[in-house]
Amino acid sequence: MTTKDQKDNLFSLVKSLTKSEKRQFKLYVGRLGVNANSKFLNLFNLLDKAKTYNEQAILQSKIIKKQQLANVKAHLYKQILISLKLNPSHQNIRSQIREQLDFASILYHKGLYKQSLKILDKAKELAIANEEKNMAFEIVELEKIIESQYITRSISTRADELAIQARDLSAQNVIASKLSNLSLQLYSIILKTGYVKNEKEGKVIKEYFNDRLPKLNNKKIGFREKLWYYKAHLWYNFLLQDFLNCYRYASKWVDLFYQYPNMINLNPVFFLKGNNYLLESIFFLKSKDKFVKKLNELNATVSDSNFIKDENVAALIFLYTNFHSINQHFIDGSFDEGLALIPDIEKQLSKYESRIDPHHKMIFYYKFASLYFGAGYNKKSIEYLGKIISNKSLSMREDLLCFSRVLNLVAHYEAGLDYHLEALLRSTYKFLIKMNDLYEVQKEMIKFIRGLQDIYPQDLKKAFKALLDQLKVYEDHPYERRAFLYLDIISWLESKIENCTVQKIIQKKYILSQNNARKL
């Protein structure tokens, strides 16, 4: 598919339709006999059969003249959206409230004030009960307009009541807006640069967060404000690599949905994202029992027939359940077991091609590469890292791009591909300097690999031990330790010293940590 094919919005929309949505569209346009052989329906049928978007083929089919094409495409796009809006699978509480608001507005313009107010009152109750406070505020504003024209005996008390409602809803909407802005800004920082890299950056983030965090009155806030409050704290703690607090706030986020179960189907994306961050924080805390328990709970909830899945939700379920199915094998070093997941995930990746952004696809490749590296299949690891490194248009987190390069160096060394090493070292070094992401762990690694060619084989073990001693210093460093989140260099070095696999070293460490935890 060319770039032009992918960018045609109408073609993408047609291709996203399910069989039942296509059937409903044809029934919807067929309700008027005049549409039976219309240009827009003929165009729909042509695009539905086509494998790629080809404007030339459309014009050669003679169903539309060139000067008509833009208008017919726009009309078809609009008709498909109207048809989708009428589809029961796209109906939810929000669409019900909007529909009631539209009905009330029509009745108001016809001068049927009493009927309009009755509908608005019910819609407002529904909006408040489901935490749709922006819509509730819109309803109150329309009620105020109607009340000012529809004079009743209760106007004085009604006016006060509406004014108080509008003030409270407005205040809650302002808090939610401030928290959602803060959460989004922190999220964009982590996507762009990854974790905080030093004391100076840590100070900037702390000030940034504290200056923008609004004061909350717990008695006056509901589900929505709490959700944004937990999200903002989660991103803040992720940036600072405070994984214990990440776990606390991700737990509060997920628990909030179980306290308000009707919110799970109303906000499935937020529910899934909360579970994703909860599992991620448990992964960083290296608690496999807790991790597996939470992953099983998530799988049980999303497999339940009551859990509503649209295309977007289905893609997120695929992403998160598979990311974490892989992650569980990094906790205890069961890499061989993890490799069995790769073929099925790759098959599904092509199915979700149009719904998964390139960033997440590359994260899968990094995880595959890390599994293969951990299991000792270095050439397979290099294969997946190559897909990341050769992708020039990639908008991926800087830290993951850097560690892909470093892991690629180590895998080449392990695979005995020495003839590539010098050129790889130069390109990796240039890349890291350009990314402003050269940290002590990476510097030591590159210095070591660069010097490997001058070390006699009998001195290798001594050299590995020296590097291990240098890197151990950074293992618990608040900023440098991030290097070990993506690439367990220390276990790799220990495997070279003890002359066994990385897998065995990580498994041994995990068993030891579990024994120590039981003693506490």
- Predicted confidence (pLDDT) at residue 72 exceeds the cutoff of 60: yes
Asked if residue 39 lies in contact with residue 68, where contact means CB atoms within 8 angstroms, the answer is yes
Distance, CA of 201 to CA of 479 (rounded, Å): 10
Amino acid identity of residue 213, one-letter, is L
Range 408-434 average pLDDT: 79
Q: Which residue's structure tokens are 């890499």?
A: 335
SS (H, E, C) 431-448: HHHHCCCCCHHHHHHHHH
pLDDT band for position 294 (cuts 50, 70, 90): very high
Specify the pLDDT at position 341: 96
The residue that leads in pLDDT, 16 or 343, is 343
* pLDDT one-digit tens code per residue, 7-58: 688 998 898 888 888 988 888 887 765 565 688 888 998 998 888 888 888 8
Residue 457 has pLDDT above 80, yes or no: no
Q: How many degrees, rounded to 5, is the angle at CA 399 between CA 398 and CA 401? A: 65
Average pLDDT, integer, range 289-308: 92
Q: Within a 13 Å sphere around the CA of 225, how many CA atoms are in the beta-carbon half?
A: 21
236 burial class (0-12, 13-18, 19+ CB within 10 angstroms)?
buried
- In this predicted structure, the answer to whether residue 5 has a pLDDT above a threshold of 50 is no
This prediction's pTM: 0.74
**pLDDT level of residue 460 (50, 70, 90 thresholds):** confident
pLDDT confidence of residue 176: 86
Nearest to 366 by CA among 374, 228, 48, 82: 374
Average pLDDT over residues 129-148: 85
* Neighbouring residues of 379: CB distance < 8 A, sequence distance ≥ 6: 411, 415
> What region does 9 belong to: left with phi over 0, alpha with psi -120 to 50, or beta?
alpha
Confidence of residue 1 (pLDDT cuts 50, 70, 90): very low
- Give me the chain's average pLDDT, please: 84
CB of 497 closer than 8 Å to CB of 464? yes
Does the pLDDT value for residue 419 go beyond 80? no
The pLDDT, as a whole number, for residue 35 is 60
What is the per-residue pLDDT for 276?
Answer: 95
pLDDT in tens, 204-252: 999 999 998 888 776 777 888 899 999 999 999 988 888 899 999 999 9
Cα–Cα distances in angstroms (integers) from residue 255 to residues 137, 187, 252, 371, in the given order: 27, 21, 5, 32
Chain-centroid distance, C-alpha 46: 34
Q: Is the pLDDT of residue 322 over 90?
A: yes
pLDDT at 483: 67
Reference 326, options 283, 376, 356; nearest CA is 283
- Residue 120 to residues 15, 61, 79, 169: CA-CA distances in angstroms? 38, 50, 28, 16
Q: What is the mean pLDDT of residues 191-201?
A: 78
CB 76 within 8 A of CB 40: yes
The pLDDT-based confidence of 464 (bands split at 50, 70, 90) is confident
Query: Looking at beta carbons, which pairs linking 93-99 to residues 24 or more positions away fall under 8 Å?
Result: 93/126, 93/130, 93/132, 93/266, 94/132, 94/135, 94/266, 96/126, 97/123, 97/126, 97/127, 97/130, 97/132, 97/135, 97/139, 98/135
Please classify residue 65 by burial: count the beta carbons closer than 10 Å to its beta carbon, then call 0-12 exposed, 13-18 middle and 19+ buried: exposed
How distant, in Å, are the alpha carbons of 404, 465, 470 from that of 494? 21, 8, 13
What does the domain layout of the chain look like in residue ranges?
3-90, 154-240, 241-315
Give the tokens for residue 210.
């504290």
pLDDT of residue 462: 83
Listed in sequence order, the residues at least 6 apart from 268 whose beta carbon sits closer than 8 Å to its beta carbon are: 307, 308, 309, 313
